Amino acid sequence: MTVIITAAELARDLAGPTPPTLLDLRWQLSAPDAPAFDARAAYEAGHLPGAVFVDLDRELAAPPGPRGRHPLPDLAEFGAAMRRAGVSASTPVVVYDGGQGWAAARAWWLLRATGHPDVRVLDGGLTAWEGPLSTEVPAPAQGDFAPLPEATGVLDADSAAALAESGVLLDARAGERYRGEVEPIDRVGGHIPGALSAPTMENVGPDGRFLPAADLRDRFKALGVSGDAPVGVYCGSGVSAAHEALALAVAGIPAALYVGSWSEWSSDPSRPVAVGPDPR
């Protein structure tokens, strides 16, 4: 099954007999001292016709705390939010955001990890869409999606550390954060010992669309992803890492996600921190 969809393919599917449910995941990571991005206002100013707004911070994550800035949501509450948005198990879902792809990937990952069989991300996001936009806020019929009682493919701090030793653990953040040269958000900079730097923005081209699958496979192979060992990903708070997991899926490589990511790992002073370009 494909995990991304082009704007042209989406336009075709929306005009077909079984159009997908559309979810708008407009979101931006803001520095602590910067004004918050008003995602709802951006959605109301113009979105794909029929798309329902989903709030990443409130509906795809629990409140920030010891488990990180975007820990897993309560799955019962997540299921209720998805049903309010019109999500049903038998209907395909397409998610998109403003173009960066991180928030859409978080929705893709969470829906797939909790059992939805058919979720795709609009490649390139809203900026790739060439059709009309709407300011009408839809009132979708109640969906029937019921998430699994436990998400699959999830790493915690201990299993992420173990995977860095026994498999491949990729750090999706920018290289300077991995190396510990800057840390604008979390308590300390650096990375999980043994993790490899693999900035997720290197998985896309200048237009924000994913590189071809063959190019992604070559990139991950160069990072040590051979297919013989399990793969995991993390980032600052489990959002851009979902984008890396999506890139791996495009390449045909399954990966687990450390949802708490660096925001959880670095909050505990007893956990080791590596700095510099070397994994250890």
**Which of the residues are catalytic?**
235
C-alpha distances in Å from residue 148, one per residue of 76, 109, 112, 210: 9, 13, 10, 29
Structure tokens at 46: 């113009």
Angle between helices 240-250 and 213-222 (to 10 degrees): 110
**Which of 181, 213, 204, 10 is closest to 99 using CA atoms?**
204
**Which of 45, 74, 70 is closest to 56 using CA atoms?**
70
SS3 280: coil
Output the CA angle 175-258-242, nearest 5 degrees. Answer: 70
